[in-house]
A and B are shown apart, each in its own frame.
Chain A
């Protein structure tokens, strides 16, 4: 069974940092592109970033480029999102998702709150 389990969310002050993790199981993690997507309270889904199978190619939404870094450890079957210089508007539930054609399996999400 495909499972994606996010962790690392929490409350952080503006300007702070967090690292999210997404533990994958039930599939060949190293053969899939992986994504982060977020949903702010009361808002819709917004794509954040994706990474190719070996981590050599990454893409970011304009709103996070230069502040967030996506990476993966295929030996640990884990996807990461390093978030720096956090802003109020980064408050959201962050989902990791696997790509097969497009994002087919999603985790339950981890909430991030940026507030002083």
Chain B
């Protein structure tokens, strides 16, 4: 299985400030010039929401303050200006190889 490791496990950011979450895969998820890496936002009591796929493509309707970057084994989710509604747990997921493994999650809170 491809192990996904996120850092940090949690972070507290002031409203309007930048939040950065890192995700590392134990093996490359790059194939055919595409990175098989997605980011999800999960709020309590709701289903997970897909934010980013192909490492950097924003899902329709996702605010542009969310951006993804990286390639191969190292990836980053950035929230450029944290809003109150962004409080959630964020997960990276690789869909390069079954099983589709998730990172352990990063809890984002308001400082």
Contacts and interface: CB of A to CB of B under 8 A. Distances in A.
**Do A and B interact with each other, yes or no?**
yes
A75 interface: no
B63 interface: no
B40 interface: yes
Interface string B41-53: 0100011111001
B53 A44 contact: no
A72 interface: no
B105 A44 contact: yes
Contact of A102 (B38, B42, B47, B104): B38
Which residue, of A35, A45, A95, A106, has the highest number of chain B Cβ atoms within 10 A?
A: A45
Given A45-B40, A95-B48, A102 B103 contact: no
B40 to A, nearest CB: 7
A44 B95 CA distance: 17
A45 B102 contact: yes
A61 interface: yes
Contact of A46 (B36, B50, B98, B102): B102
A45 B100 CA distance: 11
Nearest to B98: A59
Contacts of B101: 47
- If over half of B's interface residues share one DSSP class (helix, strand or loop), that class is named, otherwise mixed; here it is loop
Contacts of B36: 102
Interface in A100-114: 101-109
B47 A45 contact: no
Interface residues of A, number: 21
Contacts of B38: 101-103
A62 B95 CA distance: 17
Contacts of B42: 45
19 contacts: A35-B100, A37-B48, A44-B89, A45-B102, A47-B93, A47-B100, A50-B98, A62-B1, A102-B36, A102-B38, A102-B53, A103-B48, A103-B50, A103-B93, A103-B95, A104-B53, A104-B59, A106-B47, A108-B47
A107 B100 CA distance: 18
Interface in B74-109: 89, 91, 93, 95, 98-105
